[in-house]
Amino acid sequence: MMPKRELYIGLISGTSADAIDAALVDFAPPVPNLVAHHSEPLDVTTKASIHQLAHSGADEIDRAGDLDHKLGLSFAQAANRLIEKAGLSANDISAIGSHGQTLRHRPPGNGKTAPFTFQVADPNLIAHHTGVTTVADFRRRDMAAGGHGAPLVPALHQALFQSDTIDRAVVNIGGVANITCLPASGDVTGFDTGPGNNLMDAWIQRSLGKAYDEDGQWAASGTLNAPLLHALLSHPFFKVSPPKSTGPEDFHLAWLDDCLLQLSETLKPEDVQATLLALTARTITDGLLLMQSRKSEVYLCGGGAHNGRLKSALSALLPNAYVAKTDDLGLAADWVEAVSFAWMARQTLKGLTSNLPAVTGASAPQVLGGIYPALR
């Protein structure tokens, strides 16, 4: 007899907007098992629409509605292809947890508007076109309770990666970087530290027409520029105490251009890239040192985990820490975030909470997300 399985799918398109990541997870074993995964690339036009809508512009509502519909269909397609790849049917899947694509994130204290966060990829379309109950809109319930709605993945980091004998930290390096500090005893903490890959990706795209700096090789060919790093570190976000969260609204090419204009010299493009990598490494390290004082293990996940130059920079700044990928803990670095939203969907359907108030600043733990039932 086949052992009973408890299958959920997690879907996410991150800040970099390169692809929709889909993870199929079995929660029946003692430890969640990543059964299969699939990555659905986003076309150039869709990616450009996402980045344009991260900032104010003409005809925003119609453009956002159009993108919400297109991404809803694309997310459904990613889920269906994953189900097919695994040799399963919709009836085998308990639910889909869809983060969607963030277009705007205004946490408490943003100084511009009331707190809100806005993700697209219509979950009604996902549920309809997959035949699988879909859970989505995870962030806003935390914000309703006074939280930032981000980062949310620390709850899964705690569930999967916490040790009772050694201090650990998990660093998720997507477009934005965030940290989760998992002490052997005491409260779990975490927050967004600032840019992850987004500025480096945007700069190399503008300069060389490449989507990303493979293994940090281009950054390695440049030299850190101290005045530029100082200008970048003067951003007000870095002076804010946790809980805190950020996004491309704060860190983007226009802001980088303003910082470059403050300099008395014109920098080589590769020197800018080297300095952007140093900014990511420095702000991650500052966050870890703020939250932890003892020796620890630091595990990287997200796309930035594959940047060898960035990993070396972090190791140099954290000489007393063991720095590796979450692969060493049994979950591949590329799939931690998608697995997180599969786990959150399960939590929601079981009426269980999945935010950490010490991380987000919410007044209390919350059951996150709205449920969109599928008719089977």
pLDDT of res. 295:
66
Radius of gyration of the chain (CA): 20
For residues 232 and 289, membership in a common domain is answered with yes
- Tokens 């159009």, residue located: 66
C-alpha 35/C-alpha 57 separation (Å) is 41
pLDDT of res. 2:
57
For residues 274 and 246, membership in a common domain is answered with yes
pLDDT of res. 111:
86
Please list the ranges in the chain whose pLDDT falls under 50.
Answer: none
Residue 141 CA: distances (Å) to CA of 86, 116, 159, 374: 32, 10, 21, 22
Burial class (CB in 10 A: 0-12, 13-18, 19+), 258: exposed
Please write the tens of the pLDDT for every residue from 174-186: 999 999 999 998 8
- Tokens 């000489």, residue located: 319
For residues 106 and 225, membership in a common domain is answered with no
**93-123 burial code (b ≥16 CB/10 A, e <16):** bbbbbbbbbbbbbbbbebeeeebebbbbbbb
Sign of CA dihedral 28, 33, 38, 44: positive
For residues 326 and 339, membership in a common domain is answered with no
For residues 269 and 219, membership in a common domain is answered with yes
pLDDT of res. 293:
54
What is the number of domains present in the chain?
2
For residues 320 and 182, membership in a common domain is answered with yes
Q: In what order do the strands lie in the sheet with 176-182?
A: 189-195, 176-182, 168-173, 297-301, 322-325
| Global pTM value | 0.94
pLDDT of res. 17:
84
Q: Are 318 and 190 in contact (CB under 8 A)?
A: no
In angstroms, how far is CA 345 from the centroid of its own chain?
17
pLDDT of res. 4:
83
For residues 193 and 118, membership in a common domain is answered with no
Q: Which CATH number is 296's domain given?
A: 3.30.420.40
- Of 308, 303, 331, 299, the closest CA to residue 37 belongs to 331
Q: Which two tokens stand for residue 357?
A: 């108030």
